[in-house]
Amino acid sequence: MSRLLKPGMAICCIYVVAAWILLQMGMALSHHISDVELKPDMGLVIQDMLFDLIVGHSFFETVFIVLIGLTCVRMIIYIGRHLYASHKWKAFVKVQIHPRLTIKWTRKYKKWHTPIDVIREQQPLALAIGMLRPRIVISTGLLDMLSVEEVHAVLLHERYHCTQRHPLKKWFAAMIITSMPYMSVLKGLGHYYDIWIELLADRYAITHTNSTYTISTALLKLVQTQRFATPYQGVSFSDTAINYRLSQLIHPEQSINVPMVSLRSICTSGTVLIVISMIIFFQCL
């Protein structure tokens, strides 16, 4: 199996499982709504739907409808928190942006067609951010701490995240995992995906610098500093898979064995899928 396909397989599994569950939930809601006579008064319609939910369905069907409601609520809360964090982050960057250095570094790497924002912050920060228009954010603390070669390696790492749309993919995966905690296998797949995209981003930097030294020294310097807490979800340089990344950098010729999911999570998640399928099957009879 090609290593390049591993994170893609993991994220596809998350999306496929989520799509299947949402499809089943849509079928259940459609069946539930069809049992209720539509009236001009929406209050009466909602009242009839609640009565039908309690009286007109089996215990398992009622539990499934409640599960649908909880999933939707958790999804709405996640999206709301993201919008709030996005607003806070934009306000923070607007105040802390360093115009001269931002122009300087964006021009230096203009062939990448990836904007590079430099913010005034003493703590070192390197982040790939933005779902529709990915960009790289670095801090003045990072520029002060690292050499020019190390900064170049870090930017290569973050550029890989931008070109692969990892901020967008991670956001969708995190929303699914947060909304469906009853599917424990999704959490394992998400963790596996997070590790592999960091390993591949490091390999991208190694390939373009022809050395493991600069990316290694940059990573070691950053993991020894205090972590910068950003309110916005992005793909940070030194937050994930440190042990796996150091192992790869020390022994680049050796294969990295990253556990995907546990047998227990597969069994419990498989049981949930079977139960949902049975509920939908008997509901449609």
* Whether 127 contacts 234, CB under 8 Å: yes
pLDDT score at 42: 57
Give the residue among 279, 263, 276 at the shortest CA–CA distance from 22: 276
| pTM of the full structure | 0.84
Query: Quick one: angle between helices 263-284 and 184-209, nearest 10?
Result: 130
Q: Write the CB contacts of 231 (distance below 8 Å, at least 6 apart in sequence).
A: 85, 88, 89, 92
Q: What is the mean pLDDT of residues 110-124?
A: 93
Query: Structural domain tally of the chain?
Result: 1
CB contact set of 68 (below 8 Å; sequence gap of 6+): 25, 28, 29
pLDDT tier for residue 257 given thresholds of 50, 70 and 90: confident
Per-residue pLDDT at 65 = 79
Split at pLDDT 50, 70, 90, the class of 1 is very low
pLDDT > 90: percent of the chain: 49
Arithmetic mean of pLDDT, 80-88:
90
Q: Which of 24-28, 102-106, 111-115, 216-220 has the lowest mean pLDDT?
A: 24-28
pLDDT given at position 104: 95
Please determine, for residue 277, whether its predicted confidence score (pLDDT) is greater than 60. Answer: yes
Tens digit of pLDDT for each residue in 142-181? Answer: 999 999 999 999 999 999 999 999 999 999 999 999 999 9
Beta strand 235-236 with 116-119 is unpaired
Task: Note down the domain range covering 162.
Answer: 3-284
C-beta of residue 154 within 8 angstroms of C-beta of residue 142: yes
Give the mean pLDDT of the chain: 84
